[in-house]
Amino acid sequence: MVFDAEQERFEREAEEQARRAAREAEREAREAARDARARRRGSYHNLGVLDLSWAKTLEDLAHIQNIRNVGVLRVPEHLYEFVSSLPMHNVGIIERVPSGERMEISGRSRVSGDFLAAGDPDAILQVTGQLFVLPPLERIGFKELHVTGQLFLPRGSESVLTGKLRRLTGQILYYRSDVGVPRLFTDGEEIGREFLELLPEPAPFIIMGSVTLEEDISVDLLRSKVAEITLAGKLYAPRHLLSVLQVLTVDKAGAILATQKGPDAETVDPWERAED
């Protein structure tokens, strides 16, 4: 009897899961159809990036009636005035894109300095998101560099951008590349004592997103294994590490926070001088 009851319960749960999956599939199909109808009517909405840079003439964009809730809107430079005159609501950035060949890197990516050096001299490199460039970076072969987001470059390569960086919406951050192998940490990762002890040599740390240092890390261990920190996001740490993190964090676009969560979490600014 117990077995029969359990079997019946499992069957009911399986049927309910199947019904939920079917309802979800129907909902997604309705949303896809709605979005397709909206585009046919010329309505673009709820998009992180809307790329219209492919358009050549006004006729290519004549169907657009309104644009709303778009983070980044890319438009051809020669059609910028026309697109700007369209009905818009809640559009974050309108980005002019010159005519010519383009290469795009989006999301969170990593490339070598040699990749940038070998770029097509007739093409524009468009970076959207976070791009980490491994050393050495001695030149940029692309005609132009457009960045919407964050670009991480080895320190000492600042002059390489001269004449190449034409558009920047975001930040360029530099990291130390003359000691150890750069260690890249992304959203949600945790760094503990055991990891640091296993590092063969000091290394620069690059933080992208929200990363946590665990309670078992000592000040001496952190200083001995972390050459420098480049921070783009939030770095959570126990209070006994906050002072040394102020020293180690050289380039920063974000915040260092005490491990405690909640409205009273403490933000520490590495460049803020203590009051006498």
DSSP, residue by residue, 223-256: HHHEEEEEEEEEEEE-GGGHHHHHHHEEEEEEEE
Closest CA to 249 of 264, 270, 223: 270
DSSP state of 164: T
As a whole number of Å, the end-to-end CA separation of the chain is 77
Q: How far apart are CA 182 and CA 205, in angstroms?
A: 6
Most distant CA pair in the chain, distance: 80
- Stated pTM of the model: 0.65
pLDDT in tens, the chain (276 residues): 544 555 566 566 667 667 777 777 777 666 666 555 555 557 888 888 888 888 888 888 888 888 999 988 988 888 888 898 889 999 988 888 777 788 889 888 999 999 999 999 989 998 988 999 999 999 999 999 999 889 999 999 999 998 899 889 889 999 999 999 999 999 999 999 999 999 999 999 999 999 999 999 999 999 999 999 999 999 999 999 999 999 999 999 999 999 875 445 454 554 444 444
Residue partners of 276: CB distance under 8 A and separation at least 6 = none
**Would you tell me how many other CB atoms lie within 10 Å of the CB of residue 171?**
16
Cα–Cα distance, 40 to 89 (Å, whole number): 19
Residue for token pair 């609501």: 89
User: How far does CA 183 lie from the centroid of its chain?
Assistant: 17
Closest among 157, 159, 110 to 136, alpha carbons compared: 157
Pairing of strands 190-191, 183-185: unpaired
Residues 218 and 197 sit within 8 Å (Cβ to Cβ): no
274 CB-contact burial (10 Å; exposed 0-12 / middle 13-18 / buried 19+): exposed
Structural element, H or E, at residue 172: strand 165-175
Helix (H, G, I), strand (E, B) or coil at 135: coil
Amino acid at 181: V
What are the tokens at 274?
A: 């203590």
Nearest C-alpha neighbor of 96 from the set 111, 74, 115: 74
Round to whole Å and give the CA distance between 86 and 208: 36
Nearest CA-CA partner of 244 in 262, 220, 260, 267: 220
Number of H helices, E strands in the chain: 7, 13
Please tell me the predicted confidence (pLDDT) of residue 271.
43
pLDDT at 238: 96
In this prediction, residue 39 carries a pLDDT of: 54
User: Hey, is 189 helix, strand or coil?
Assistant: coil
